[in-house]
Amino acid sequence: MTASSTTASAGVANGQPAARLWSSRFAFILAATGSAVGLGNIWKFPYITGENGGGAFVLVYLFCIALIGLPIMMGEVLIGRRGHHNPINSMRSLALSDGRSSRWQGLGWMGVIASFIILSFYSVIGGWAVSYVGSSASGAFVGADADQVGGIFGNLLASPGDLLLWHTVFMAMVIVVVARGVRAGLEKAVTLLMPALFVLLLLMVGYAMTTDHFGAGVDFLFTPDFSKLTTEGILTAMGHAFFTLSLGMGVMMAYGSYLPREVSIVKVSIAVSFMDTLVALLAGLAIFPIVFATGLEPGAGPGLIFQTLPLAFGQMTGGAFFGTLFFVLLVFAAWTSAISLLEPLVSWLEEHKDVNRLASTLGAGFMVWLLGIASILSLNLWSDFHPLGMFTMFEGKTIFDLLDFFTANVMLPLGGLLVALFVGWGMKRASVESELGMESSVAFSLWYGLVRYVTPLGVLVVFVYNLA
């Protein structure tokens, strides 16, 4: 979308036409929360919490969000707004203007590439969620036993045709929104979807309260039992803090570049981190009581919401209705995250290559769709194809596993580490201070200390551990 296609006048503070800026602080919070709240909150957080024994893990996770996630989010939004371009050009211009090497733009590149790759398989899982809305609504889970529910999931994964259909539907939903631009597409979508998501989530929690195991769910999430905490659990919590806040891949930079100057980066970052955490906890409160009520295991792993939960819904009164609501909620969450994953590449094509919004979105979306097919086939026809199997580390990993591994365990922490180093050590302190609007305050010194020392160290530990 170009300036001429908007009625609002061009030339707003960021050097962006009005149609390319969020209309308000609230719009940014909704959009960034939409990005942050996704499969990570509703699918991954509950199952890793289940696998890691509950309360103590949750506590560590909260610390990671506050001490590592939030400081990096502020850094990314700051880079985006100050650079006011796509992640690659923003990194380049900020590095040069603070007397650093233009090679820092590599961080922008890595972000754009990582978000592109992540979206390719994120969309496949988003597709599962779409298909589950249909299964649940048609009553497929009502009264089903574990084998039948497992069969539905197994059949879906075994069928390249079905997976491709749902992946295509999901990518089409993403493209339709992104093609319309920042204000008319992204902002409008999140303004409708995010409040709906909250309502659905609260309904789900309300439903969980009607089971007689709500207390057990609360207990599981909030009563820490440190004997259940492992080193691995701590590192998982740290790694997940990145993923769930959409950090380390240029998304918050791209969204930050559309943030009007007068908005406080500190306040919006705190709001987004808070909402993201709230949703993860509410998702836990919605899911675990239902799981316990039917005597199922919380530590079921990745299948928790696609196998355990449908089984639980199938046995409860009102389960078909609430099960369907749950999967609609999951689709909304995945959708608003997926649009943010397409944005870095689209904004680069648009600004740097001068391709119009529609063509950029279609081009980028098509490439993502194509790459997604590799993940689809990894689940069935290519499940025995292990391209890097000659290295013990990658033994038995399919293309899907490898894409997930390299993005989540390598590119994402590396991106976060570089963001912390860039704002903490690369940029001039004065530039950072003025962009945050926190000149010589105690809060600034606190944040600066975190971003310079604590965050890089924390990330380094996770990074090395995950590779070792």
Q: List residues binding ligand PHE (CB under 6 A).
A: 35-36, 38-41, 115, 118, 243-244, 246, 249, 251, 337, 340-341
Least distance between ligand PHE and beta carbon 46 (Å): 12
Least distance between ligand PHE and beta carbon 107 (Å): 15
Considering beta carbons, is residue 33 or 308 the nearer one to ligand PHE? 33
Least distance between ligand PHE and beta carbon 123 (Å): 12
Residue facing ligand PHE at closest CB distance: 40
What burial letters (b/e) apply to 165-203, b meaning 16+ CB within 10 Å? ebbeebbebbbebbbbbbbbbbbebbbebbeebbebbee
What are the start-end ranges of the H helices in 245-391?
251-256, 265-293, 309-314, 319-352, 357-378
Upper half-sphere CA count for residue 288 (Cβ side, 13 Å):
27
Considering beta carbons, is residue 246 or 360 the nearer one to ligand PHE? 246
d(CA 142, CA 320): 6
d(CA 90, CA 88): 5
Considering beta carbons, is residue 118 or 271 the nearer one to ligand PHE? 118
Ramachandran category for residue 347: left, alpha or beta (phi over 0 → left; psi -120 to 50 → alpha): alpha
d(CA 212, CA 316): 12
Least distance between ligand PHE and beta carbon 2 (Å): 26
Least distance between ligand PHE and beta carbon 380 (Å): 24
Considering beta carbons, is residue 190 or 320 the nearer one to ligand PHE? 190
Could you say which DSSP state residue 380 is in? Answer: T
Task: Write down the residue that tokens 């999951």 correspond to.
Answer: 330
Considering beta carbons, is residue 49 or 246 the nearer one to ligand PHE? 246
Least distance between ligand PHE and beta carbon 36 (Å): 5
Considering beta carbons, is residue 118 or 309 the nearer one to ligand PHE? 118
Considering beta carbons, is residue 407 or 455 the nearer one to ligand PHE? 407
| Cβ–Cβ < 8 Å for 305, 41 | no
Considering beta carbons, is residue 65 or 320 the nearer one to ligand PHE? 65
Grouping H, G, I as helix, E, B as strand and the rest as coil, residue 388 is coil
Least distance between ligand PHE and beta carbon 139 (Å): 28
Q: Which long-range contacts (CB under 8 A, 24 or more apart) does 352-355 make?
A: 352/86, 352/88, 352/89
Least distance between ligand PHE and beta carbon 37 (Å): 6
Provide the CA 16 distance to its chain's centre, in angstroms. 26
Considering beta carbons, is residue 40 or 372 the nearer one to ligand PHE? 40
Considering beta carbons, is residue 140 or 278 the nearer one to ligand PHE? 278
Least distance between ligand PHE and beta carbon 246 (Å): 3
Grouping H, G, I as helix, E, B as strand and the rest as coil, residue 121 is helix
Least distance between ligand PHE and beta carbon 408 (Å): 9
The closest of 122, 14, 168 to 404, measured between CA atoms, is: 122
Burial class (CB in 10 A: 0-12, 13-18, 19+), 391: exposed
| Cβ–Cβ < 8 Å for 77, 255 | yes
| Cβ–Cβ < 8 Å for 298, 54 | yes
